[in-house]
Amino acid sequence: MDKIYMNELSFYGYHGVLPEENKLGQTFRISLVLHLSTRKAGETDSVEDTVSYADVYETVRAVVEGKRFKLIEAVAETIAAEVLAGYPLLFRVTVKVVKPNPPIPGHYHSVAVEIDRERGL
């Protein structure tokens, strides 16, 4: 199957277990892999035959900026569910949520969760 990659979309959200995360917020980076057949779109050169990544961007933005979660696992699950529900040409989606600055001690680049979900599973 074919794939559309959406890499490191950046949004400001209020997700976290600690009260200050819910009050101050922080940047989250989201990457997606949309699994579908792009053959018809490649032959017709028509956006109607594929998934508009501009529309998917707005779906993800609505989840990250419009809702609040304690866990990035819940952010990822909600994004996957919304994307699969909203775009019937997709049969699978991979979602990676990166939290660059979680309030934990130590030296690290970021923490992240990645999930892979299929339609109907």
Residue 80 DSSP one-character state: H
Strands (E), 1-121: 2-13, 26-36, 92-99, 111-118
Q: Cα dist. 83→27, 62, 110 in Å?
A: 21, 11, 25
CA distance 40 to 49: 6
- Note if 23 is an active site residue: no
Of the candidates 67, 70, 96, 99, the residue annotated as catalytic is 99
Six token digits for residue 41: 């779109």
What's the helix, strand, coil split of the chain in %, to 5?
35, 30, 30
Residues labelled as active-site residues: 99
